[in-house]
Structure 1
Amino acid sequence: MSGVQDQLEIKFRLTDGSDIGPKSFPAATSVATLKESILAQWPKEKVSGPMTVKDVKLISAGKILENNRTVGECRSPLCDIPGGVTTMHVVVQPPALEKEKKALNDQEQNKCVCVIL
C-alpha cells in the first residue's frame, strides 16, 4: 500500500462550523503534528484561538485522539471512504491557569467565616 492510500485528506471543523483544510497528511503523521498544523493555520480573525497544542482536542468518529497516535491508527474503517475527506472536530480548551484562577475565585466567594466572641 503506497502512494494515495498512504495519504489522508483531512479537514478540521471548528466549533463555529468553519473549516481548516482539507489538506493531505501521510498516514504516519502523529496527532500532535496535526494539532501543530491547526495552530499554524488558525484563522487570525478568530478571537479565542489555541495558544499551544495542549489547548487543542481533536475528535474523530466520536473519539478524542491521543497525541502519540498516528493518523493511520486513528482511522475508522466505517467512516473513511477511499479518496474521501475525513472531518475531524477541533475543540479548544481554555488554558489551565484560567481554570485554576476561576476555581480559586469560586472558593474565595464561597468561603464562610465564623467569629466567636
Structure 2
Amino acid sequence: MAEEQNQLEIKFRLIDGSDIGPKSFSAATSVATLKESILTQWPKDKDNAPRTVKDVKLISAGRILENNRTVGECWSPLYDIPGGVTTMHVVVQPPSLEKEKKAASKSKQNKCVCVIL
C-alpha cells in the first residue's frame, strides 16, 4: 500500500500540445530519469526531437526541475489528488543554439569600427 502511494502518474505535454504518457513513476525517480524516459518515448514524427537529456527542460508548477532532484522533492501538495495525473511541460532547448548565439554576439562585439581615410 505504501509503495502504491509513492507511485505518481505523470504525462508530459509537448510544445505542440501533444502528450507523452501518462506513465507511473516512483517518488524516488530522479528528474534526469524522467528526461531519459521522454527521450525514449519521443514521437518519431516530431521535427524538434532532443538529442540528449541536456536538451530537455521539464517545467512543473511554474518551476524548471533540476536533474539531480527526485520527483518527490519537486512534488507540490496541489498534486495530491487521488488517482490524478500530473502534467509536466517539456521544452526542447538544444545547447548548440545557445553556443551559436553567444559566438555570434562575441563576433559582433569584437568588430573593429575604425575608419581609415
The bucket for the TM-score relative to the shorter chain is 0.7 to 0.9
After the TM superposition, which segments of 4 or more aligned residues of structure 1 sit over 4 Å from their partners? 106-110
- 1:23 corresponds to which residue? 23
Alignment map for 1:1-117 (pairs within 5 Å): 2-95=2-95, 97-108=96-107, 111-117=111-117
Shift of 1:28: 0.5
Q: Runs of 5+ in structure 2 lacking a partner? A: none
Secondary structure of 1:101's aligned partner: helix
Which has the larger displacement, 29-38 or 1-10? 1-10
CA RMSD of the aligned region, Å? 1.8
Shift of 1:4: 1.5
Maintained 8 Å contact 1:61/1:79: no
Q: How many pairs align?
A: 116
Matched-pair identity in %: 76
Q: Report the TM-score, using the length of structure 1 for normalisation.
A: 0.88
Maintained 8 Å contact 2:54/2:94: no
Q: Runs of 5+ in structure 1 lacking a partner? A: none
TM-superposition CA deviations, 1:74-116 (whole Å, max 9, x none): 1110233122101100011022x33222343355467353233
